[in-house]
Homo-oligomer: A and B are copies of this chain.
Amino acid sequence: MSGNTFGRLFRVTSCGESHGAGIGVILDGVPPGLSLDPSEIDAALARRRPGQSDLVSPRSEADRCEIFSGVESGVTLGTPIGVLVRNKDARPESYDEIKNVYRPSHADFTYERKYGRTAASGGGRASARETIARVVGGVVAEKILSRAGRIEIVAAVERVGTIETKISPDDPRLTRESVDAHPVRCPVAEIADKMGDLIRDTRRQGDSLGGIILAVARNVPAGWGDPVFDKIDATLAHALFSLPAVKGVEIGSGFGGVALRGSEHNDVFENREGRIQTRTNRSGGIQGGITNGENIVVRIAFKPTSTIALEQDTVTRQGEPARLKGRGRHDPCVLPRAVPIVEAMIAIVLADHYLRQRAITF
């Protein structure tokens, strides 16, 4: 297992370099009988694609998928689903200038140390382009989850650089529609505007920004997750930390919860109209690594994009001091485009645990 497969029963295997021919995905363990149309994947890809607003990379890739196996007459067969999304606007030549220097905080140096070589163009697998496979997987994961009830997974930008807002994961107005209403993907319009301004300003300065995404999964049944190493928070953290630029993950109360006493932090149970629920949700929907039926709440910290236009110190492959000035067509802030990818990874994790739970429930 060399890192390009995720999941135990619902399995996403991907391949593809940033500036190669395309991104390939094989989805295994998909139950038969689910409707699936390429246009659904294309619609999901449109939410992550560059060029969708003036806030993100201008690389213009109207990604279209080809489903070449596992689906017939619009319905899954139970056999593995193969998907290919071709790269259309790859420009490896624009990477010539970085061929001989290591980009700071990028993967050039570490890939070279790992493999003894580097993809001539761009960052190889350490590239946002690779996340296409996750979005493809997310679409099918949501199809699987549709069998488990009306699970909703929504992510939103809560912070960009120093501008932040608090979003309640329980607010029913937090929906994919309300999030997508603004290109920043922050559902609080006036804050979103400020974030947008900040992103444009920062790009103009040749610099980049990080931020925080909040995600919630609603209506997940209680009982999903596997003790002890595959607690659902552990597999969610694995999935989310596998995304480029992630430096932190919190479930429920997260780092803020450490200041509370147990008596303050504990989520006491109560019976609401015949259903046992918790009064508060500092657990973020997970207790002992298993879902408790409350909203699953996650926060993810993204570092500022490594590739910036400002000139930076670095060294050449030979270790000589050098100066590097990025060009390329990179996002000044990855968060707006990361929202659907975060949703996809959560869906993939949940779908896998759903199938696992089915196997042992008699």
Q: Which residues of B contact A165 (CB under 8 A)?
A: none
Q: Say whether A187 faces chain B, with CB atoms less than 8 Å apart.
A: no
Q: Say whether A9 faces chain B, with CB atoms less than 8 Å apart.
A: yes
Bound Cα distance from A81 to B9, whole angstroms: 22
Tell me how far the C-beta of A180 lies from the nearest C-beta in chain B, rounded to whole angstroms.
22
Q: In the complex, identify which listed stretch (A46-54, A55-63, A171-179, A304-312) lies at the interface while the others stay far away.
A: A304-312
Q: Say whether A80 faces chain B, with CB atoms less than 8 Å apart.
A: yes
Residue interface mask A58-75, B partner, CB < 8 A = 1: 000000001011101101
Contact B21 A66 (CB under 8 A): yes
Chain A interface residue count, Cβ-Cβ cutoff 8 angstroms: 158
Q: Say whether A233 faces chain B, with CB atoms less than 8 Å apart.
A: yes
Q: Which residues of B contact A244 (CB under 8 A)?
A: 288
Contact of A2 among B2, B226, B308 (CB under 8 A): B226
Tell me how far the C-beta of A108 lies from the nearest C-beta in chain B, rounded to whole angstroms.
8
Contact A4 B306 (CB under 8 A): no
Q: A1-B9, A104-B278, A161-B258 are in contact. List 11 more A-B contacts (CB 8 A).
A: A3-B28, A15-B28, A102-B276, A107-B227, A114-B224, A115-B223, A229-B239, A229-B242, A255-B301, A262-B310, A268-B314
